[in-house]
Amino acid sequence: MAGTVPVMTISIDLTGRVALVTGGARGVGRGITERLLSAGAVVVVCGRSAPDPGALPHGVEFRTTDVTDAVAVNELIDAVVAEHGRLDIAVNNAGGSPGTGAATASPRFSEKIIALNLTSALHVAQAANRVMQGQDTVGSIVNVTSLSGLRPSPGTAVYGAAKAGLISLTTSLAMEWAPKVRLNCVSAGMVRTELFEQYYGGPEGAAAVEATVPLGRVASPADIGDAVTWLSSDLASYVSGANLVVHGGGEQLKFFDHQTG
């Protein structure tokens, strides 16, 4: 029929691209790994200790690496390029922190939390950028951050400060390394990982917390994986220096209860 607009199917195809996911064997990282893999990417994951045999999806390569060690990170990137010929996507997912009051946190504890959640991402980004700047396509670096970097984070203050720093670092590097490399953040809200119920005191506590999310549920690791995969794809080719907040609508505000009765 004349004038009919052709229907176009939008899909994400990462076939032929090589991705590195730090901390990609479990939790949020596992969701990212599976989504990148399903989009056709070759996926390499790293962590401090190897997963059980057969625990990773078929075809995913694991490399033991301490990402807080800059020398080890550069060796990792060089090994990935030697094996696969290139590196197109780097996802800084490794991170986390136990709950600790800021008044009693030791200097060593604080330094380790900053190293894991901020400095390690810089190490990986620098090593990835070194490779990506010399390739014929635009590379993508995605930093997984947290709502803790956007609002007060009592009990994990140093972690929140590190994540806030990672958001700032991302915007600066996006300007410095353009146009050959795009850098973006995904700031995750609550995610139902293996430790979710334990963190909130069991099934009842977890359910009570989940009920506060406007969309009625916390994120799955795959939800974060979808956001990372989109930012890594050509569909986001004009997106750099952005912080994509994935939190199901936000956190419940106490004053809203009084407003609504």
pLDDT in tens, 113-150: 999 999 999 999 999 999 999 999 999 999 999 999 99
Tell whether 228 is covered by a domain: yes
Tell whether 65 is covered by a domain: yes
**pTM for this predicted structure:** 0.94
| Residue 205 domain boundaries | 18-260
Tell whether 10 is covered by a domain: no
For residue 253, the model assigns a pLDDT of 73
Residue pair 66/50 in contact (Cβ under 8 Å)? The answer is no
Tell whether 7 is covered by a domain: no
For residue 159, the model assigns a pLDDT of 97
Residue pair 68/127 in contact (Cβ under 8 Å)? The answer is no
Kindly indicate the confidence band of residue 7, based on its pLDDT and cuts at 50, 70 and 90.
confident
Tell whether 6 is covered by a domain: no
CATH code assigned at 170 = 3.40.50.720
Tell whether 73 is covered by a domain: yes
Interval 70-126: pLDDT, tens: 999 999 999 999 999 999 999 999 999 999 999 999 999 999 999 999 999 999 999
**Among 159, 199, 200, 238, the one annotated catalytic:** 159
For the chain, what is the domain count? 1
Residue 171: Cβ within 10 Å count: 15
Tell whether 234 is covered by a domain: yes
Whether 159 is catalytic is yes
Query: Rounded CA gap, 164 and 147, in Å?
Result: 9
Tell whether 221 is covered by a domain: yes
Looking up tokens 């899909």 gives: 11
- 248 sits in the region (left: phi over 0; alpha: psi -120 to 50; else beta) called left
Residue pair 34/60 in contact (Cβ under 8 Å)? The answer is no
Kindly indicate the confidence band of residue 256, based on its pLDDT and cuts at 50, 70 and 90.
low
